[in-house]
Structure 1
Amino acid sequence: MVEPRADLSLPMQLDCLLHYFKCLSMVARLFTSLSSDADPILFVWYDAFNPDHQDGVSSQRSAIQLEKAAVVFNLGAIYSQIAASCDRTTALGRHLAMEAFKVAANFFRQLWQVFAKDVVATLDLTLVFAEFLHLLFSAQASELELREELNNNDASYALQQHRCALLFRSVYELYSRAYELIPTDSAARKHVDSFDQTWVTHLYQKATFFEAEASQRQSSILPKSERPRKFRSVTSCALDHDAECVPEILVRGICCRVRKVLYEDRKQTYIDLNLSEYNPFKMMKYGKLVAYPWDMPPPYPTDLAILSSSLVSLSSDILAFIPLKKSEPLNLYESLRSYFVLKYSESVAERVDGLLEMLHKLRNEMLRDDLSLPLRRDCLMRYYKCLCMIEPFFPMNASPNPPIFVWYNAINPQQHSSQHNIHLEKASVLFNLAAICTHIALSCDLTTVQGRRLAMDAKKDATYWFYLMSMFESRKASGTIDVSRHYFHVLDFQFHHLELMFRVPQPHEPSLSGYPVSAYYPSTSGPPLAYDPSSDVTQQFVLGYSTAHSLLQRVCRAAPCLDLLSEVSPVKIKDGNLVANAAT
């Protein structure tokens, strides 16, 4: 993170900072317990707006707070640089920039409200500067949203004018509040004048323009009683409604659908620490944390030692392993590419060729029987994201060779469903995600706290995937009984039994040490489970990681489009084209 490397792109720098922030949060508790006579760990940071890097500030009393505040500042700065580098002459570029500015504003809000408090630091980490940067990037995100609304041809003229009047007023208030912060603080004003005096002038001109425009539009459209008095929070909007660019339509598909499916604020931390390939470290057997070499490209070697070699013996009334659904092979690449050539052109097909290749590759991978459960889970999740991208083009009525999805009943393999229906494909993928999670949950070592937490997270994931299948895809897909809403309701009661079996005792509950587990959880069998959270260092680390993970999800949850810039995305945006990510 510190070493200047010209070969690191902005997304790679971002991934590094995000990983480092999670690791910092894991060890943060250790800094509060360091004795006064121990050699302190000092973090030295320089002012971001001072090009000479003078007057660096170190902190001993709140060392970890300074380090985390500086990392959060840099996360906001990287997102602002990503936003500024987007091509805002296109709908896709404006949408990427808007999302990046929103995330930057969210990071600076966290800096202002949480991380910069009680930190003796340079002026760029003071509360006034953090609030100023939060308002500045919120204003720029709102300005881009306003530009999208001005290009919106979907709404009626009166409704569009009403929305624009509200947005003009919101943008004015944000720029105005940002401008008022700096001149009223002598230290901040002196600091701004030392690196670039045009900042204040720019803000004043922006506020003046948007105030005049908002007043004109409101006076002609809105009655006085309906004029807004406070800022309306910025929400992500769709791309241009009349966009004819196929990559933009595909990106719109992942923005509209993946947000509600894969970006919920879920806290299944253990399953990601044990099974995901894209964390900076993994938890191995007996709770040992092992870091990945930073320069090691994915896929990383997966150690499944935490999964027991034999199945957990279960009573007859407890859910057994849910079998995976089988599917017939399908050449998605040829059928989709011929459709884009026929409906659009050869050049359009070339622009999305990377996505079509990745779809074909992921579908073949998910059908392999030799993949480990974690690898298959990651493959299915990436494939589901790609399916969300192509969903707007279904049904492909203009295609002479539409893809036909064939899936067999997981409960009765003699039955199958054959349809040109992408919702059948998505429902089947969600079913297999849930089935894999039940396999993982039921093969964990329940005699350890880590094993139980992993099992509980896997069970929650399974319930979540089944819920999504029943709520969104099953309603639009008439497949076999295993992907129906009725099947999920049948499983729901049995999942409750699993939750009792996997549940980890909390600190306020009676200690189970020396007592049979079955005395507290009748559905569980096995040796006694001792749990002392105060002496469980690994548990303290995971709690810190969970806090950081939840924070980052909350800050970035409204920006699924930005994931297409990530190094771990199955498809990446490059020069307006969708290309397959070689790393995956």
Structure 2
Amino acid sequence: MSNEYRQLLNPETVLSIPLKKTDPVELYLPLRKLVASKYSESDAQKVESVLQTLNKCRRDMVERRGDLSLPMQRDCLIHYFKCLCMVESLFTSLSSDADPIIFVWYDAFNPKHEDGVSSQRNGIQLERAAVVFNLGAICSQIAASCDHTTALGRHLAMEAFKVAANFFFQLWKAFAPKNVVSATLDLTPLFAEFLHHVFSAQASELELQQQLNNNDASYALQQHRCALSFMSVYKLYDRAYELIPNDSAARKHVDSFDQTWVTHLYQKVTFFQEEARQRQSSILPESERPAVFSRVQSCALDHDAECVTEILVKGICRRWILGRAKFYLQQKYVDLILSEYNPFKLMKDGKLVAYPWDMPPPYPTDSAILSSSLSSSSLSDILAFLPLKKTEPLNLYESLRSYFVLKYSESVAKRVEGLLQMLHKLRNQMLREDLSLPLRGDCLIHYFKCLCMIEPFFPMNASPNPPIFVWYSAINPQRNSSQHNIHLEKASVLFNLAAVCTHIALSCDHTTIQGHCLAVDALNDALNWFSVLRLESKKACGTADLSEKYTRTGNNEIVSLKFKFPRPQCDVSSSPGYPVSFDPLISGPLAKILVQSTAPQYFGAKMKTCPSDVTGQFLLGYCKAHTLLQGVCEAPCLDLLSEVSPVKIKDGNLVANATLEAALENMSLQETSDGYIYITWGVTAPTTN
């Protein structure tokens, strides 16, 4: 990008907003008392952990804000929002004679915090809206705090502004209209729409700067893209500017916070409008435009250490989202029971466990829902069809580090050393024969993410010792494929992910409600991984088990297998935590998960009924929060700023999470007398302060 562009765009000046503040409130005791009185003491014990975590999150959100980094504040808010959605149904159960739970929130744009709004009885909607506002605000602060003079900093800021805009879009469309009467001005639809457009404009402006750095297209196409982008940025700024000056109360409100805001927006509108007009002639006619416009990739490879880090970060954003996110929303139940990294767990006895937001994963998992033998011998055929692929050991760390030293420099290699170490350790763990199925699945997912990060650097033509991946056929172990092609590695990992999911499904206790739901969810996940595999295997000429024909056959086998599972009887002994009258297969959150894969005749009018037990209601709230957050927070690079990420961005470097490293080195398996497998860890995950 030229000096002229740098001066005109002025990326160092961006808008961000403060968080709303609130008064403390005790949630645990009144909610626990409510559950015990409405349901039973045993039900209160089953959800006690969620209520404790809810209370801790809110207390930390109020009292520890000044001690927490911006990414940790984001983690706390996300965790609190999930817990809040889980308990939402309880607030509608508060009787008129019960002590109300009062939430008090102050206007974010009023620095003196005058005129705080007290919610009346059942003020859960105000609480949720305020938390969504703060999630958008904290993302705007993360974006503003990034170093906009570097490519990596601009990329992180761009993604953070996009997420902030998404949160304010949700506030505008879903939450603000419910609080118009009682909310402060910052929670009205007008302000939510205004902030959505402001942060969308700033994200688009940063994306435009990345585009101006990108020289992978012809001159005409590059000018065409720039002209469209300038016009898009102008329209976003213009819409934001129109909303405030035309409303006297809103204008006065913004001026009381910062009088430079309106001036700043006016300057942006004026500049981008003029630039868009000048470039309008560069827009290509329809006949000359390419059929598909690729999104902005990364800056050109050079010897800039920061640029290498950005390429690694963009690798996971671009390839992980394209390959997985569109399927991820279908899977919740596997995570709730088996994932070592999901902070919410559903145990066999119906108890819901929530780990503190500031306790880094992995978390011990009770795998008792998995049985030691298959429920039906006729179902074991697919085990022969989908055994795990095996591979030869490989020292990825040495070969990759040598490449970065040779291609770039020793300092560049040091900046990405944490990623390379984690990549190597995950591959070694993947080869272990003693891993449980859930832990193997988590390990494969983490490894696949790391592969997505390093993919842009393949093929390593400049390396004298490139890594050679050797994989054996799952159907004919005597045959193997030996290639430098990273797509062979990725396709093989995807195959094993699908295989692990089928093995999990077949090892479930299918006589129980939980076992049946977990099995069907696992098979859905296997189908998802096969869908990604079909795309990846086209780039790799591997063994026959990676062929289109084989994966299509595997798809069909899995679909038919789902209908072979016996439907369990819904009684107290087979589904602890559920009353006899409630069948989670035909109502509540589990039905939402099963509806895509179970015969239509299983579902009718009962699909719209709500679960009648507290655990089912909490699960339904969790599913709603999970779906909303997955749709809004589509920015894996922001997770790399978090303390709970396996690989973190720290001072522009990629470093491995020490807690996960220690866990990978010290984890072991313990088999109990009842035949169940439990995970134990050689180190205790500390609480992050």
Please give the TM-score of this superposition, normalised by the length of structure 2.
Answer: 0.76
Provide, for residues 174-196 of structure 1, a one-character-per-residue CA deviation record: whole Å limited to 9, x for no partner: 22221221122222222222221
1:565–1:572 CA contact under 8 A, matched in 2: yes
* 1:131 maps onto 2:193 in alignment: yes
- Aligned with 2:655: secondary structure? strand
Shift of 1:304: 0.8
* 1:397 maps onto 2:461 in alignment: yes
* 1:268 maps onto 2:348 in alignment: no
**Paired position in structure 1 for 2:28:** none
Pick aligned residue for 2:111 from 46, 51, 63? 51
Pick aligned residue for 1:331 from 385, 390, 395? 395
Question: Could you tell me which amino acid in structure 2 is paired with residue 34 of structure 1?
Answer: L
**Paired position in structure 2 for 1:561:** 637
Provide, for residues 36-87 of structure 1, a one-character-per-residue CA deviation record: whole Å limited to 9, x for no partner: 3332222111111222323221212451111110110011011111111111
Question: Relative to 1, partners in 2 of residues 1:294 and 1:141: Cα closer, same or farther, differing over 3 Å?
Answer: closer
Shift of 1:160: 2.4
1:318–1:497 CA contact under 8 A, matched in 2: no
**Paired position in structure 1 for 2:646:** 570
Shift of 1:203: 1.2
Q: Distance in 2 between matches of 1:554 and 1:296?
A: 25
Question: What is the aligned residue count?
Answer: 556
**Paired position in structure 2 for 1:72:** 132
Provide, for residues 282-320 of structure 1, a one-character-per-residue CA deviation record: whole Å limited to 9, x for no partner: 111033201214443322212112222332224268633
Question: Relative to 1, partners in 2 of residues 1:536 and 1:324: Cα closer, same or farther, differing over 3 Å?
Answer: farther
2:389–2:474 CA contact under 8 A, matched in 1: yes
Q: Distance in 1 between matches of 2:286 and 2:515?
A: 59
- Aligned with 1:476: secondary structure? coil
Pick aligned residue for 1:115 from 175, 189, 205? 175
**Paired position in structure 2 for 1:340:** 404
* 1:37 maps onto 2:97 in alignment: yes
Question: Relative to 1, partners in 2 of residues 1:165 and 1:368: Cα closer, same or farther, differing over 3 Å?
Answer: same
Shift of 1:402: 2.0
Q: Distance in 2 between matches of 1:68 and 1:269?
A: 22
* 1:259 maps onto 2:321 in alignment: yes
**Paired position in structure 1 for 2:364:** 301
Instruction: Please show how residues 514-553 of structure 1 align to structure 2 within 5 Å.
Output: 534-553=611-630
1:153–1:242 CA contact under 8 A, matched in 2: no
Q: Distance in 2 between matches of 1:541 and 1:132?
A: 33
Provide, for residues 429-469 of structure 1, a one-character-per-residue CA deviation record: whole Å limited to 9, x for no partner: 11111111112111223333332222111111111112212
Q: What 5-or-longer segments of structure 2 have no aligned partner?
A: 1-60, 288-292, 568-583, 592-597, 603-607, 661-689
* 1:447 maps onto 2:524 in alignment: no
Q: Distance in 2 between matches of 1:376 and 1:7?
A: 36
Shift of 1:16: 1.4
Q: Distance in 2 between matches of 1:549 and 1:465?
A: 20
Question: Could you tell me which amino acid in structure 2 is paired with residue 478 of structure 1?
Answer: C
Root-mean-square deviation (CA), in Å?
2.7
Shift of 1:130: 0.7
- Aligned with 1:573: secondary structure? strand
* 1:210 maps onto 2:272 in alignment: yes
Shift of 1:253: 2.1
Q: What 5-or-longer segments of structure 1 have no aligned partner?
A: 227-233, 512-519, 525-530
Question: Relative to 1, partners in 2 of residues 1:415 and 1:236: Cα closer, same or farther, differing over 3 Å?
Answer: closer
Q: Distance in 2 between matches of 1:272 and 1:534?
A: 20
Pick aligned residue for 2:424 from 357, 360, 364? 360
- Aligned with 1:407: secondary structure? strand
Q: Distance in 2 between matches of 1:98 and 1:154?
A: 20
Question: Could you tell me which amino acid in structure 2 is paired with residue 315 of structure 1?
Answer: S
Question: Relative to 1, partners in 2 of residues 1:280 and 1:310: Cα closer, same or farther, differing over 3 Å?
Answer: same
Higher mean displacement: 274-283 or 86-95: 274-283
Shift of 1:505: 4.2
Shift of 1:167: 2.0
Q: Distance in 2 between matches of 1:569 and 1:463?
A: 26
Instruction: Please show how residues 243-258 of structure 1 align to structure 2 within 5 Å.
Output: 244=303, 245-258=307-320
Provide, for residues 223-268 of structure 1, a one-character-per-residue CA deviation record: whole Å limited to 9, x for no partner: 9999xxxxxxx99632224554322222232233112112225321
Shift of 1:562: 2.3
Q: Distance in 2 between matches of 1:20 and 1:501?
A: 40
Q: Distance in 2 between matches of 1:282 and 1:365?
A: 24
Q: Distance in 1 between matches of 2:194 and 2:211?
A: 26
Question: Relative to 1, partners in 2 of residues 1:562 and 1:487: Cα closer, same or farther, differing over 3 Å?
Answer: same
Q: Distance in 2 between matches of 1:302 and 1:143?
A: 44
Question: Relative to 1, partners in 2 of residues 1:295 and 1:197: Cα closer, same or farther, differing over 3 Å?
Answer: closer
Question: Relative to 1, partners in 2 of residues 1:368 and 1:165: Cα closer, same or farther, differing over 3 Å?
Answer: same
Question: Relative to 1, partners in 2 of residues 1:19 and 1:43: Cα closer, same or farther, differing over 3 Å?
Answer: same
Question: Relative to 1, partners in 2 of residues 1:76 and 1:449: Cα closer, same or farther, differing over 3 Å?
Answer: same
Question: Could you tell me which amino acid in structure 2 is paired with residue 53 of structure 1?
Answer: H
**Paired position in structure 2 for 1:424:** 488
* 1:167 maps onto 2:229 in alignment: yes
Pick aligned residue for 1:22 from 71, 82, 98? 82
Higher mean displacement: 494-503 or 546-555: 494-503
Question: Relative to 1, partners in 2 of residues 1:289 and 1:404: Cα closer, same or farther, differing over 3 Å?
Answer: same
Question: Relative to 1, partners in 2 of residues 1:223 and 1:318: Cα closer, same or farther, differing over 3 Å?
Answer: closer
Q: Distance in 2 between matches of 1:307 and 1:548?
A: 27
Q: Distance in 1 between matches of 2:448 and 2:372?
A: 29
Question: Relative to 1, partners in 2 of residues 1:419 and 1:44: Cα closer, same or farther, differing over 3 Å?
Answer: same
Higher mean displacement: 446-455 or 364-373: 446-455
Q: Distance in 2 between matches of 1:161 and 1:141?
A: 20
* 1:506 maps onto 2:506 in alignment: no
- Aligned with 1:411: secondary structure? coil
Provide, for residues 95-121 of structure 1, a one-character-per-residue CA deviation record: whole Å limited to 9, x for no partner: 111111111011001001101112121
Question: Relative to 1, partners in 2 of residues 1:6 and 1:370: Cα closer, same or farther, differing over 3 Å?
Answer: farther
Shift of 1:152: 2.7
Q: Distance in 2 between matches of 1:17 and 1:167?
A: 33
Q: Distance in 1 between matches of 2:341 and 2:312?
A: 24
Question: Relative to 1, partners in 2 of residues 1:564 and 1:199: Cα closer, same or farther, differing over 3 Å?
Answer: same
Pick aligned residue for 1:486 from 540, 549, 552? 549
Question: Could you tell me which amino acid in structure 2 is paired with residue 421 of structure 1?
Answer: N
**Paired position in structure 2 for 1:230:** none
Higher mean displacement: 357-366 or 37-46: 37-46
* 1:4 maps onto 2:67 in alignment: no
2:301–2:308 CA contact under 8 A, matched in 1: no
Instruction: Please show how residues 276-291 of structure 1 align to structure 2 within 5 Å.
Output: 276-291=339-354
* 1:85 maps onto 2:145 in alignment: yes
Q: Distance in 2 between matches of 1:242 and 1:398?
A: 13
Higher mean displacement: 140-149 or 77-86: 140-149
Question: Could you tell me which amino acid in structure 2 is paired with residue 212 of structure 1?
Answer: E
**Paired position in structure 2 for 1:179:** 241
Question: Relative to 1, partners in 2 of residues 1:507 and 1:388: Cα closer, same or farther, differing over 3 Å?
Answer: closer
Question: Relative to 1, partners in 2 of residues 1:423 and 1:182: Cα closer, same or farther, differing over 3 Å?
Answer: same
Please give the TM-score of this superposition, normalised by the length of structure 1.
Answer: 0.89
Identity of aligned residues (%): 72
Question: Relative to 1, partners in 2 of residues 1:171 and 1:399: Cα closer, same or farther, differing over 3 Å?
Answer: closer
Shift of 1:411: 3.0
